[in-house]
Amino acid sequence: MAGGSVAAAGNEDGSRLWLRLDNANATAVITGVKGTAMTELQTYWQGGPVVLKRQKGIAKDGYTIKSQSGKTVISAASDAGLLYGAYHLLRLQQTGQSCENLDIREEPFYDLRILNHWDNPNGTCERGFAGKSIFLNPDPERMKMYARANASVGINGAVLNNVNAKPEALSTESLQKTKSIADQLRPYGIRVYLSINFASPIKVGGLKTADPLDAEVIKWWKDKVDEIYKLIPDFGGFLVKANSEGEPGPMDFGRTHADGANMLAGALKPHKGIVMWRAFVYNPQSSDRANQAYEEFMPLDGQFADNVIIQVKNGPIDFQPREPYSPLFTAMQKTPMMVEFQITQEYLGAANHLVYLAPMWQEFFSFVKPGSLRAMAGVANIGDDTNWCGHHFAQANWYAFGRAAWNPSLSPEQIADEWLKATFGLNDQFLSPVKQVMLDSREAAVNYMMPLGIHHVFAGGHHYGPEPWYSPKGVRADWTPPYYHRADSIGMGFDRTTTGSANVRQYPDELCRLYNDISTCPENLLTWFHHVPWDYRMKSGRTFWDELCHKYDDGVRQARQFLAVWDAMQPYVDSQRFSEVQRKLRIQARDSEWWRDACLLYFQTFSHRPIPQDMEHPVHNLDEMMKFRIPISMYENPVSGYNK
């Protein structure tokens, strides 16, 4: 439907994600290579005859789609390529595009397009906001839908367990369960990987050490890897978090990250497995947490085995609403690297806020050339909630991750357009305003949470909501907001210039000079790199304090506008999804006020300057907000934020 105001018929619960495909025509004729691609087309294709054909000379996972003599011919060198081609054809059908006169050639930019699930053996999902793990008691139909959704956007790998790995992940019982999951995902071109605990030789194998250079340890890992591949011949490899946040690692035994990674790589290499070694490390003794990964990994550049990939978070701190890119990406020239994005919204309103992340990832790739990386990983936002992600629009970030990993040059606009059409239909009166909400949502969240380079001023523990004052006794400084905002009577921000922590020196010379000078530093990163005086004159002509106030208020007005736009969409959306999204947007609008009021009133105790008269003033009281706590863990989504 291209127009009109007819409400969508029936209710939908989001369980079909973006694969809301009608059944195929009874006359649809699909011939050629039998397999999952044929099954999908036989079930959902509504057009003319399709031929599935194996053809050499096409890149791994790539395919061609061509209209030939009244038929559509999908060619690929592998079953996975045929499946990706089939989903491409179905996407054209579903989004209302022409399926005639086709001449398409596609291949993925990255060979490895991997979801990282932070799922625990007890079924909890760290930073998960959509219920329990789908792998706890895998339901065959649920697993099939999970596999179809991933394959439809080109995702070809899944790390099944938390990077804070429990040693029992490598027990024989757990490996049998991993085998069962791998068997269910394999027909959709998805390989499984495991996060491992570096101390497993001690805790599972009963050895006295996990020293990566110890002969018994090396043998234990070789035997364990051989055991895994006997069960799962196409097992992908290991993801490792080591010597970070209390997790064990090679440095516990006087060894380096390279020693640990290369030992594991040696065990995996005969099976063509890989090691993804995370660079998320920080030492409480470092002068600046943002410097730590560079300080630990740069001396090791070029020392890693060729089947080791260093997995680096997009920013140098921890998935903040806005960060500069991690300087490791441009500094390490001799080591394969991959980026780790966070699809789940640990720092962006959990499953209560609509925040479309493709613009954030596009911003990252404007600094880091996609071709400089080997792979792309995303921390999943998937659980056993009916709608999979806790928020109907959070599904868009799962979709966007897959599409961007396949082709990083796809624009956020194109990806949003595809997802909206597949998920909600083709009504133009719905698509245009809601797509604009999606495209504006990340910047709005930055505005009402942490504008102008402010970072990590979240509540302790679960990270939902503002607590710029959070600084309990006994907690290490770099786990507290004052470590980052450093507000005082002069100004606020972390001095990372050459006369401060010198973090700017980790960037290429051109960026170092740009960031080091407060007059040239981009204003959206100003307090990231500078301790900015309250009366510093901004490009708008306002003082820094007044600009900060207005940015927060801009975010509140944007969040309210998102709700207003959605309220007007009722004629075009089924009542269940309309109501569920509306409730979330109301929470987001209230939370935006909470963020603005808590941050401005708290920072005002340092600035001693008035809130500008040409904006809405806070409506909450600082003392009451400072007493407010949400009694949740890092494994659940809050019902709402501050609502006194």
Per-residue pLDDT tens over the stretch 404-423:
999 999 999 999 999 999 99
pLDDT category at 643 given cuts 50, 70, 90 is: confident
**Residues facing 51 on adjacent strands:** 31, 73
Pairwise CA distance, residues 544 & 492, whole Å: 10
Q: Which residue intervals of the chain bear CATH 3.90.1330.10? A: 447-494+531-627
Pairwise CA distance, residues 264 & 258, whole Å: 10
3-class SS string, 72-121: EEEEECCHHHHHHHHHHHHHHHHCCCCCCCCEEEECCCCCEEEEECCECC
Nearest to 80 by CA among 141, 152, 146, 144: 152
Pairwise CA distance, residues 120 & 140, whole Å: 20
Residue 1, pLDDT > 80, answer no
Supply the pLDDT for residue 272: 98
Supply the pLDDT for residue 9: 56
What is the CATH T-level fold of the domain 112-423, as seen in this structure?
TIM Barrel (3.20.20)
List Cα–Cα distances, 248 to 202, 303, 311, in angstroms.
11, 21, 17
Residue 42, pLDDT > 50, answer yes
At position 316, the amino acid (one-letter code) is: P
Nearest to 163 by CA among 342, 364, 316: 342
For the segment 419-431, the average pLDDT, to the nearest whole number, is 98
Supply the pLDDT for residue 2: 43
Element (H, E) at 309: strand 308-313
At position 232, the amino acid (one-letter code) is: I
**Residues facing 376 on adjacent strands:** 113, 339
How many CA atoms, within 13 angstroms, populate the side-chain half-sphere of residue 250?
Answer: 18
Q: Residue 441 has which token pair?
A: 């949502």
Q: Is 561 exposed, middle or buried (0-12, 13-18, 19+ CB in 10 A)?
A: middle
Element (H, E) at 364: helix 358-365
Supply the pLDDT for residue 285: 73
How many CA atoms, within 13 angstroms, populate the side-chain half-sphere of residue 271?
Answer: 25
Q: Residue 272 has which token pair?
A: 């063509």
Ranges of beta strands (E only) in 100-253 are 103-106, 112-116, 157-159, 191-196, 237-240
What is the CATH T-level fold of the domain 447-494+531-627, as seen in this structure?
Alpha-d-glucuronidase, C-terminal Domain (3.90.1330)
Q: Which residue intervals of the chain bear CATH 3.20.20.80? A: 112-423
At position 230, the amino acid (one-letter code) is: K
DSSP 8-state code for residue 344: S
Q: What is the mean pLDDT of the chain?
A: 96
pLDDT category at 440 given cuts 50, 70, 90 is: very high
Supply the pLDDT for residue 644: 81
Q: pLDDT tens digit string along 523-557?
A: 999 999 999 999 999 999 999 999 999 999 999 99
The listed CATH number (3.40.1440.60, 3.30.379.10, 3.30.230.80, 3.40.50.1370) that belongs to domain 30-106:
3.30.379.10
Pairwise CA distance, residues 625 & 454, whole Å: 20
Residues recognised as catalytic = 245, 318, 346
Kindly give, in sequence order, each residue whose CB lies less than 8 Å from that of residue 285, ignoring residues fewer than 6 positions away: none
Q: pLDDT tens digit string along 589-611?
A: 999 999 999 999 999 999 999 99
Residue 5, pLDDT > 50, answer no
Do strands 491-492 and 532-533 pair parallel, antiparallel, or not at all (unpaired)? antiparallel
Helices 395-406 + 140-152 axis angle, to 10? 50
Q: Residue 51 has which token pair?
A: 């031929």
Pairwise CA distance, residues 588 & 559, whole Å: 7
Residue 290, pLDDT > 70, answer yes
Residue 399, pLDDT > 80, answer yes
List Cα–Cα distances, 12 to 9, 18, 81, 383, 537, in angstroms.
9, 12, 31, 18, 51
Buried b (16+ CB within 10 A) or exposed e, 214-231: beebbebbbebbeebeee
Q: Which residue intervals of the chain bear CATH 3.30.379.10? A: 30-106
pLDDT category at 10 given cuts 50, 70, 90 is: confident
Mapped onto helix, strand or coil, the DSSP state of residue 65 is strand
Supply the pLDDT for residue 584: 98
Percentage of the residues of the chain whose pLDDT score is greater than 90? 96
Pairwise CA distance, residues 441 & 456, whole Å: 19
Residue 120, pLDDT > 60, answer yes
Q: pLDDT tens digit string along 449-464?
A: 999 999 999 999 999 9
Q: Is this model's pTM higher than 0.85 or not?
A: yes
For the segment 563-582, the average pLDDT, to the nearest whole number, is 98
Supply the pLDDT for residue 8: 52
For the segment 433-444, the average pLDDT, to the nearest whole number, is 98
Pairwise CA distance, residues 348 & 589, whole Å: 13
Pairwise CA distance, residues 379 & 251, whole Å: 26
Pairwise CA distance, residues 312 & 332, whole Å: 11
Nearest to 389 by CA among 428, 423, 432: 423
Q: Residue 71 has which token pair?
A: 């038929």
Supply the pLDDT for residue 28: 84
pLDDT category at 233 given cuts 50, 70, 90 is: very high
